[in-house]
Amino acid sequence: MKKTVLLALLALLVVLVSGCSSQTEAAPEPEFVAPLLNAEGGAVASAGTPSATAQEEEEENTSEPEPSATRRATRTTTRTPRPTRTASVTRAATETRAATKTPLPAPTGTNTPNASGEIVHTVAAGETIYTISAQYGVLWSQLTAYNSIAAQVEVGQEIRIPVGMMSQRYVAGGGRTNATPVASSANENRVVLGPVTFDWQKLNNCGPTTTSVLLSYYGINQAQLTIAASLKPNANDKNVSPAEVASYVRRQGLGAFVGVNGNIGLLERLLAAGYPVMVEQWMQYDGGVGHYRAVRGYDRDREQVLQEDTFLGPDIWRSYGEFNRDWAYFNNTYIVFYPAADEARVAGIIGGDWNRGAMWQRALETFRNQSGALALYGQAEALHQLGNDADAVALYEQAINAGLPARYFWYRFGYFEALNNLGRYQRTLEFSEPILKAMGLGEDIRYHRAVAYKALGQTENARRELRQALQDNANYGPASALLNQLPPAPPTWTPTAGLPTTPVAATPTPGTEPVPPTSEPVPPTPEPVPPTSEPVPPTPEPTPEPVPPTPEPTPEPVPPTPEPTPEPVLP
């Protein structure tokens, strides 16, 4: 009986021990440093995400809240282990976690575009705008802009992805489609020019891409990356000037005219004559950015223009009001491409503004009749171009105080040029520094900073800015020209002490036999023969030692080996 009870107690003890161990053997979570957590409580890589805030919002919407998932810089080892999950976890939360962990499938051929050439994607649990854009190979910023939505998406929401936008790989020519769904027409009230080849721009590439669209109208088919290699070889360069675009177009054999103070009437006359127009505008997106658009049509009855917008999509009709609002940020700048043989015809359409002095004078009068920061800047720019820098700087600074967009000086540089013309070099350096820091790079601003440094006698600072400008854009001519005007940089002394040197082989003297190399160095003179125990018979006349010649770079000749002394014969 006692034996039976003892065995039962032992069995119960084994069960209790195994039960406790199964509850406490959960693998400890690794420590982490990243401030963002994924659904597993580990660090989230931030590469490729638009911002930490956006990524954080994404993770908050796709992972289960857990007591241990605190957003801290470090996690101490004294934290309480995460308890074992129980069946109380909801099914929806489990499905969300599974969707986050499992890679999303790539789009397949079963996706059928709608009549507008769009794939319609329905947001599933666990998806974000970032995972959807990665799935279809598009820019998330273009996806939100095209659909007019915020970055936060909801389950069941429909996202439209144009088929052309899906070819967003960084390959020359990718994404180019024939943008001709709008029939060409030409009458008094409605004009549509075409065909053109549309392309969805890569990041920061609206200038080269819009240039590509308009060149295609004249039968010149160049991919946007081909053009970018000339206009902005650095993909992070955020600005291409109208003058750079016009210069590139002229190298392709066409004519190009850059004008300011354009208006709807001028656009209509140019379009009616068969000349599409490139305009520099402000895009009302993410705080505002400069943006090029191609205009290839208008409808006077509906008061709309037809644009090719490489960021938002092909064939967009916009009202005159919206168009003029965005155009005013760049004082209605436009670029006309035309066959070189048509220059006189284009000049006749543009009229008095073909003369640049007259154009800026008329622009000054136009902007004086307007109000606000943009009009003040337009007046300042006109005065600067007309040679009145003192009044120009005063108006530039009034415009700044009136409130210009944060990124405005990423694209406009007349203020820096006027400051330098007046000798206000320190102001140029101080005002440009935070702008350059926000941009990351900018060859135009660095050039004007170099001009200021050069005038202040700080040649090495000027050289540094110019070299960096050429790293930002190796094709930027003004930086190369100014760099060549600087005095040569002082030679830099490089210490050589302690560095290994390679011996230089000596050149043999003509008429001498070179000594073959040996593993041991050859002494310059023979060692004396040690005395022997027996006397050596004297030689009648000892041969005198040869006097060594003056040392030369060549090795000395090896003296002949002396005859061995004969051993004495013992009796």
Q: Is the pLDDT of residue 31 over 90?
A: no
Of residues 228 and 47, more confidently modeled: 228
373 and 330 in a single domain? The answer is no
- In this prediction, residue 137 has a pLDDT band, given cuts at 50, 70 and 90, of confident
Residue 217 domain-assigned (yes or no): yes
Task: Check residue 143 and give its pLDDT.
Answer: 83
Q: Is the pLDDT of residue 378 over 90?
A: yes
3-state secondary structure at position 270: helix
Q: Is the pLDDT of residue 103 over 60?
A: no
148 and 256 in a single domain? The answer is no
- In this prediction, residue 124 has a pLDDT band, given cuts at 50, 70 and 90, of very high
- In this prediction, residue 162 has a pLDDT band, given cuts at 50, 70 and 90, of confident
Task: Check residue 286 and give its pLDDT.
Answer: 77
Residue 7 domain-assigned (yes or no): no
Q: Is the pLDDT of residue 445 over 50?
A: yes
Residue 15 domain-assigned (yes or no): no
192 and 232 in a single domain? The answer is yes
Q: Is the pLDDT of residue 511 over 80?
A: no
- What are the angstrom distances between the C-alpha of 154 and each of 61, 125, 181, 222, 262? 9, 8, 32, 40, 43
Residue 334 domain-assigned (yes or no): yes
Identify the domain boundary among 467, 485, 503: 485
- In this prediction, residue 229 has a pLDDT band, given cuts at 50, 70 and 90, of very high
Task: Check residue 556 and give its pLDDT.
Answer: 46
201 and 340 in a single domain? The answer is yes
Could you please report the per-residue DSSP string of 82-123?
PPPP-TTS-HHHHHHHHHHHSPPPPP-TTPPP-TTSEEEEEP
Task: Check residue 202 and give its pLDDT.
Answer: 85
205 and 345 in a single domain? The answer is yes
- What are the angstrom distances between the C-alpha of 175 and each of 47, 134, 172, 193, 338? 25, 16, 9, 21, 26
Q: Is the pLDDT of residue 145 over 60?
A: yes
Going by C-beta distance under 8 Å and a sequence separation of 6 or more, which residues neighbour residue 138?
161, 165, 166, 168, 200
Residue 5 domain-assigned (yes or no): no
Hey, which residues does 334 pair with through a beta bridge? Answer: 259, 279
By mean pLDDT, which of 140-144, 277-281, 359-363, 388-392 is the weakest?
A: 140-144
**What CATH number corresponds to the domain at position 408?**
1.25.40.10
The token pair that represents 523 in the structure block: 């002494």
**What CATH number corresponds to the domain at position 242?**
3.90.70.10
262 and 362 in a single domain? The answer is no
210 and 346 in a single domain? The answer is yes
329 and 368 in a single domain? The answer is no
CB 307 within 8 A of CB 294: yes
pLDDT above 90: percentage of residues in the chain: 50
Domain that holds residue 153: 118-167
215 and 317 in a single domain? The answer is yes
Residue 51 domain-assigned (yes or no): no
Residue 530 domain-assigned (yes or no): no
Identify the domain boundary among 311, 332, 354: 354
pTM of the model: 0.62
Comparing CA positions, the residue from 380, 379, 386 lying closest to residue 365 is: 379
159 and 306 in a single domain? The answer is no
299 and 365 in a single domain? The answer is no
**What CATH number corresponds to the domain at position 154?**
3.10.350.10
Rounded to 5 degrees, φ, ψ at 5 are -65, -40
Identify the domain boundary among 306, 325, 354: 354
Number of domains into which the chain is organized: 3
Residue 176 domain-assigned (yes or no): no
Task: Check residue 111 and give its pLDDT.
Answer: 63
288 and 203 in a single domain? The answer is yes
